[in-house]
Amino acid sequence: MKPAFTDAGVPSLPLHAVRANDLPTFLAGPGARWQGWLTASGFEAGLGDVRLLPSADATVAGAVVGLGTDMARRRQRFGLAKAATTLPAGNWALHGSLDIAERTEAALGWLLAGYRFDRYRPGRKPASLPRLCCPEGVDAGRLTAMAEGEFLTRDLINTPALDLGPAELETAFLALADEFSCFTNVVRGDDLLAQNFPMIHAVGRASPRAPRLLEMRWGHAGPRLTLVGKGVCFDTGGLNIKPSSGMSLMKKDMGGAATVLGLARMIMALNLPLRLRVLVPAVENVISGNAQRPKDILTSRKGLTVEVNDTDAEGRLVLADALAYACEEDVDALVSMATLTGAARVAVGPDLAPYYCDDAGIVAALEAGAVAGFDPVWRLPFHDAYESVIEPGIADLDNAPGFGFAGSITAALFLRRFVTTGRYLHFDIYGHVPTDQPARPKGGAGQGARAVLGALPAMLGI
């Protein structure tokens, strides 16, 4: 379902948003005629709590939704979006003393709450959802672009690997490129060796679904932004095979690719004045007679040698070749996104997107963008003292050091070895919501994309 606000001028029912501490004022003022009804129904303006308001002729006159306490709003994003899944179909207009940030959060949450993944339930009748008038002062076009990008990301992550291998990811990649008239280039199979992408080839060669590098370019003027996304369409762990508990969610191991494609869609839909390049190494990490083995030593595109101490640490291998390729031309900012390590989940949980960056200007811009986009991030360090951990002695680098600590940091340090620009930003995301949340149903999810989008003007001077 395509995210959209209701058309301007369409008759709409009022949706009164009320903070918990403002409930007495509301009941004495705009809500006075429903005071008895709301009191009898136990309405206390809890975050996302909704009550329909009856009219004299027993039809719906509107509704009231709680904004809860300040603490409740800090603890849960998009709380008002619960109304989008509770109210009956129709057109609704937001009322209440909300500031611009609150109106923006409400509007974006409403759009995101409209997401449905019904591909595998073709007989299910699409639900008629309530639609919101875009609140005053809110940029409807920008929020719609954000939601469309997020829906693309969710669709890709939610699709099982049976129907989204490297070839199908390529099809989605090219469809996006075609929609925005991008230049594209794809290197597949053994051509990866011929064109010097040896680690992408090594990770994906065991699968009958050929590995590939996907490249897209858009824009003819402005600063250069390159996005690199990990596209491991399924990860068995290779010969270091995962247990079933670790493999059950591995359809989401291309979440980095899905997120950069969602971000690219946002950038292009908003026609930002920059030159965009997107790189996605798309592979399937499986087992066969020609799979890479533990203790194999690979020579990367950059010329650095890598000892493979764990075939389940494959994401950094494919990203390394793509990052080296990205840095072979001028770039004003380089961003990589990957569902890279379990260590990042242990450190910050599934709701935060940890990132690494040594550029103070980018960090400041990203933190501001995260607040503006309701897209929380958390900075982790490129801790130089751990550099020796990723140096095995027999080769330049180790893809899975037996350090036992700081797994996300050592993975980020590994990637940084293949980057030649100081304006590098790396995300180690989860790409999945474990339980239903307002505006974020259980399943695939983008992380960090809206934060980056909001940061771009300051990052790139646009």
Secondary structure, 3-state, 165-185: CHHHHHHHHHHHHHHCCCEEE
pLDDT at 7 over 90: no
Q: Which of 316, 416, 440, 450 is catalytic?
A: 316
Round to whole Å and give the CA distance between 257 and 157. 9
The answer to whether residue 259 scores a pLDDT higher than 90 is yes
Tell me the mean pLDDT in the region 413-435: 97
Q: Where are the alpha helices (DSSP H) in 274-389?
A: 315-326, 342-348, 360-372
Confidence of residue 99 (pLDDT cuts 50, 70, 90): very high
Residues whose CB is less than 8 angstroms from the CB of residue 306 and which lie 6 or more positions away in sequence, other chains included: 199, 297, 298, 299, 300, 317, 320, 395, 396, 397, 398, 399
Beta bridge partners of 307: 297, 398
Question: What pLDDT shows up at residue 33?
Answer: 93
Q: What is the model's pTM?
A: 0.96
If pLDDT is split at 50, 70 and 90, which confidence band does 22 have? very high
Residue 124 is predicted with a pLDDT of 81
In the chain, where are the structural domains located?
13-114, 143-460
> What pLDDT shows up at residue 8?
76
pLDDT in tens, 152-166: 999 999 999 999 999
397 with 304: CB under 8 angstroms? Answer: yes
Percent of the chain whose predicted confidence (pLDDT) is above 90? 93
Q: How far apart are CA 230 and CA 257, in angstroms?
A: 5
- Going 446 to 447 to 453 to 456, the CA torsion angle's sign is negative
429 CB neighbour count, 10 Å cutoff? 29
Average pLDDT, the chain: 96
- Quick one: tokens of 155? 């669709």
Domain 13-114 CATH assignment equals 3.40.720.10: no
- What is the three-class DSSP state of 340? coil
Q: Looking at the domain 143-460, which fold is it? A: Aminopeptidase (3.40.630)
Q: For residue 413, which of 319, 279, 301 has the smallest C-alpha distance?
A: 319
The predicted structure's pLDDT at residue 344: 96
Residue 187's H or E segment, with its range, is: strand 183-188
Confidence bin at 412 (pLDDT 50/70/90): very high
H/E element, 284: strand 275-285
Question: Would residue 442 show up in a list of annotated catalytic residues for this protein?
Answer: no
CB 232 within 8 A of CB 112: no
**What φ, ψ does residue 188 adopt, rounded to 5°?**
-120, 155
- The pLDDT of residue 20 is 95
> What residue type is assigned to position 31 of the chain?
G
**Can 242 be counted among the known catalytic residues?**
yes
CA distances from 442 to 133, 293, 433 (A): 26, 35, 5
pLDDT at 4 over 90: no
Q: Round to the nearest angstrom and report the end-to-end CA distance of the chain.
A: 32
Bridge partners (DSSP) listed for residue 94 = 15
Does this chain's domain 13-114 share its CATH topology with 143-460? no
214's CB contacts (< 8 A; 6+ apart) are 169, 170, 173, 174, 184, 186, 231, 278, 279, 280, 281, 282
The beta strand positions in 196-248, using DSSP E, are 212-218, 224-229, 231-235
* pLDDT at residue 122 is higher than 90: no
Bridge partners of 224, per DSSP, are: 275
Selecting among 116, 142, 188, 242, the annotated active-site residue is 242
* Span 171-193, average pLDDT: 98
Contact call for residues 132 and 55 (beta carbons, < 8 A): no
Give the residue from 332, 349, 344, 336 showing the smallest Cα distance to 422.
332
116-121: average pLDDT? 92
